[in-house]
Amino acid sequence: MHRGVLGDLAVARSGWHAVQIGVVEVQEAAEYQCHNTRATISGMRTIAILLFLAIIATAQTPLVLFTVPDISGTGSAVQLAATGTARWCQLVAPAGNTSVVRWGDSVITTSRGSIIAAGAGQFIPPMVGPNPGGGSGVFSLSTIYVLVQSGDKITATCGR
Protein backbone atom coordinates (compact mmCIF):
# COMPACT_ATOMS: atom_id res chain seq x y z
CA MET A 1 0.00 0.00 0.00
CA HIS A 2 1.14 3.53 -0.63
CA ARG A 3 -0.13 7.06 0.00
CA GLY A 4 -2.42 8.48 -2.70
CA VAL A 5 -2.93 12.06 -3.90
CA LEU A 6 -5.79 12.59 -1.43
CA GLY A 7 -3.49 12.76 1.60
CA ASP A 8 -3.71 9.73 3.90
CA LEU A 9 -5.98 7.85 1.52
CA ALA A 10 -4.85 4.24 1.54
CA VAL A 11 -4.91 2.88 -1.96
CA ALA A 12 -4.28 -0.77 -2.74
CA ARG A 13 -1.86 -1.58 -5.58
CA SER A 14 -4.45 -3.40 -7.66
CA GLY A 15 -6.09 -0.91 -10.05
CA TRP A 16 -9.83 -1.61 -9.75
CA HIS A 17 -9.73 -2.07 -5.97
CA ALA A 18 -7.86 1.23 -5.64
CA VAL A 19 -10.53 3.03 -7.66
CA GLN A 20 -13.29 1.55 -5.49
CA ILE A 21 -11.57 2.60 -2.27
CA GLY A 22 -10.90 6.08 -3.73
CA VAL A 23 -14.54 6.51 -4.80
CA VAL A 24 -15.82 5.51 -1.35
CA GLU A 25 -13.40 7.93 0.33
CA VAL A 26 -14.34 10.77 -2.03
CA GLN A 27 -18.06 10.11 -1.42
CA GLU A 28 -17.51 10.17 2.35
CA ALA A 29 -15.55 13.41 2.05
CA ALA A 30 -18.33 14.96 -0.07
CA GLU A 31 -21.01 13.87 2.41
CA TYR A 32 -18.96 15.34 5.29
CA GLN A 33 -18.57 18.63 3.38
CA CYS A 34 -22.32 18.69 2.57
CA HIS A 35 -23.18 18.06 6.25
CA ASN A 36 -20.87 20.90 7.33
CA THR A 37 -22.46 23.24 4.78
CA ARG A 38 -25.95 22.40 6.09
CA ALA A 39 -24.81 22.94 9.68
CA THR A 40 -23.27 26.31 8.72
CA ILE A 41 -26.46 27.44 6.98
CA SER A 42 -28.54 26.26 9.93
CA GLY A 43 -26.26 28.17 12.31
CA MET A 44 -26.50 31.29 10.15
CA ARG A 45 -30.30 31.06 10.19
CA THR A 46 -30.25 30.77 13.98
CA ILE A 47 -28.04 33.85 14.28
CA ALA A 48 -30.30 35.81 11.90
CA ILE A 49 -33.41 34.87 13.89
CA LEU A 50 -31.76 35.85 17.20
CA LEU A 51 -30.63 39.17 15.72
CA PHE A 52 -34.15 39.84 14.43
CA LEU A 53 -35.64 39.08 17.88
CA ALA A 54 -33.10 41.36 19.56
CA ILE A 55 -34.04 44.22 17.22
CA ILE A 56 -37.75 43.71 17.90
CA ALA A 57 -37.18 43.58 21.66
CA THR A 58 -35.33 46.91 21.65
CA ALA A 59 -37.68 48.64 19.22
CA GLN A 60 -40.26 49.50 21.84
CA THR A 61 -42.16 52.74 21.81
CA PRO A 62 -40.07 55.63 23.09
CA LEU A 63 -40.48 56.85 26.65
CA VAL A 64 -43.07 59.58 27.10
CA LEU A 65 -42.69 61.75 30.20
CA PHE A 66 -45.73 63.31 31.80
CA THR A 67 -46.43 65.15 35.01
CA VAL A 68 -49.32 64.85 37.39
CA PRO A 69 -50.65 68.17 38.74
CA ASP A 70 -49.21 68.99 42.17
CA ILE A 71 -51.28 67.49 44.95
CA SER A 72 -51.92 69.97 47.74
CA GLY A 73 -52.44 68.52 51.17
CA THR A 74 -55.84 67.96 52.73
CA GLY A 75 -54.78 65.52 55.43
CA SER A 76 -56.60 62.69 53.61
CA ALA A 77 -55.36 59.92 51.33
CA VAL A 78 -55.96 60.70 47.66
CA GLN A 79 -55.14 58.90 44.42
CA LEU A 80 -52.08 60.06 42.54
CA ALA A 81 -54.38 60.29 39.50
CA ALA A 82 -57.90 59.02 38.84
CA THR A 83 -56.89 57.46 35.51
CA GLY A 84 -53.82 56.61 33.53
CA THR A 85 -50.92 54.19 33.60
CA ALA A 86 -47.17 54.49 33.89
CA ARG A 87 -44.04 52.37 33.64
CA TRP A 88 -42.41 54.34 36.47
CA CYS A 89 -43.02 57.39 38.70
CA GLN A 90 -40.92 59.81 40.70
CA LEU A 91 -42.65 61.43 43.70
CA VAL A 92 -41.00 64.49 45.31
CA ALA A 93 -41.96 66.31 48.49
CA PRO A 94 -40.75 69.94 48.18
CA ALA A 95 -38.21 71.15 50.75
CA GLY A 96 -40.73 73.69 52.05
CA ASN A 97 -43.07 70.97 53.36
CA THR A 98 -43.47 70.89 57.15
CA SER A 99 -44.60 67.25 57.43
CA VAL A 100 -43.70 63.96 55.86
CA VAL A 101 -45.79 62.67 52.98
CA ARG A 102 -47.08 59.10 53.18
CA TRP A 103 -47.63 57.03 50.06
CA GLY A 104 -48.83 53.50 49.35
CA ASP A 105 -52.12 51.69 48.77
CA SER A 106 -55.63 52.92 49.56
CA VAL A 107 -55.36 52.21 53.31
CA ILE A 108 -52.48 54.58 54.13
CA THR A 109 -52.81 56.73 57.25
CA THR A 110 -50.59 59.12 59.19
CA SER A 111 -48.96 56.02 60.70
CA ARG A 112 -49.15 53.63 57.74
CA GLY A 113 -47.43 53.77 54.35
CA SER A 114 -44.00 54.67 53.07
CA ILE A 115 -42.56 58.04 54.10
CA ILE A 116 -41.21 60.81 51.90
CA ALA A 117 -39.47 63.46 54.00
CA ALA A 118 -39.54 67.14 53.06
CA GLY A 119 -37.01 67.74 50.28
CA ALA A 120 -36.80 64.03 49.46
CA GLY A 121 -38.29 61.83 46.78
CA GLN A 122 -39.42 58.30 46.05
CA PHE A 123 -38.79 56.49 42.78
CA ILE A 124 -41.28 53.78 41.81
CA PRO A 125 -39.20 51.69 39.39
CA PRO A 126 -40.27 50.17 36.09
CA MET A 127 -42.07 46.87 36.25
CA VAL A 128 -40.69 43.96 34.29
CA GLY A 129 -43.21 41.69 32.61
CA PRO A 130 -46.90 41.41 33.30
CA ASN A 131 -48.11 42.60 36.67
CA PRO A 132 -50.72 40.84 38.83
CA GLY A 133 -53.34 43.53 38.15
CA GLY A 134 -53.15 43.02 34.40
CA GLY A 135 -51.32 44.90 31.71
CA SER A 136 -47.77 44.46 30.62
CA GLY A 137 -45.08 46.29 32.54
CA VAL A 138 -47.29 49.21 33.59
CA PHE A 139 -49.22 50.09 36.71
CA SER A 140 -52.37 52.11 37.21
CA LEU A 141 -51.87 55.54 38.76
CA SER A 142 -55.22 55.14 40.52
CA THR A 143 -53.68 52.42 42.72
CA ILE A 144 -51.08 54.78 44.20
CA TYR A 145 -52.30 56.92 47.09
CA VAL A 146 -50.59 59.85 48.80
CA LEU A 147 -51.41 61.44 52.13
CA VAL A 148 -50.24 65.05 52.24
CA GLN A 149 -50.89 67.29 55.26
CA SER A 150 -52.58 70.68 54.87
CA GLY A 151 -50.22 73.34 53.60
CA ASP A 152 -47.83 70.79 52.06
CA LYS A 153 -47.77 69.31 48.55
CA ILE A 154 -46.21 66.59 46.45
CA THR A 155 -45.15 66.55 42.81
CA ALA A 156 -45.00 63.58 40.46
CA THR A 157 -43.31 62.88 37.14
CA CYS A 158 -44.05 59.60 35.42
CA GLY A 159 -43.06 57.79 32.24
CA ARG A 160 -44.87 55.49 29.89
The reported pLDDT for the residue numbered 25 is: 59
Does the CA dihedral 95-96-98-104 come out positive or negative? Answer: negative
pLDDT digits (tens, 9 = 90+) for 8-60: 444 445 554 544 555 555 556 555 555 555 666 677 778 878 777 766 666 56
47 in the same domain as 69: no
The reported pLDDT for the residue numbered 1 is: 47
**Given a cut of 60, is residue 91 above it in pLDDT?**
yes
75 in the same domain as 18: no
147 in the same domain as 78: yes
78 in the same domain as 150: yes
DSSP string spanning 72-113? E--SSEEES-SS-EESEEEEE--TT-SS-EEEESTT-BTTBS
The reported pLDDT for the residue numbered 126 is: 81
In whole angstroms, give the CA distance from residue 11 to residue 23: 11
36 in the same domain as 78: no
Determine contact, residues 157/80, Cβ cutoff 8 Å.
no
Q: Does the pTM of the predicted model rise above 0.85?
A: no
Amino acid at 69: P
Q: How far is CA 105 from CA 44, 123, 154, in A?
A: 51, 15, 16
48 in the same domain as 9: yes
Determine contact, residues 121/90, Cβ cutoff 8 Å.
yes
8 in the same domain as 46: yes
51 in the same domain as 108: no
* Structural domains in the chain (count): 2
Neighbours of 101 (CB within 10 A): 28
Look up the domain containing 69 and give its range: 65-159
pLDDT over 70 for what percent of the chain? 62
Q: Decide which of 42, 58, 74 is a domain's last residue.
A: 58
In whole angstroms, give the CA distance from residue 148 to residue 116: 10
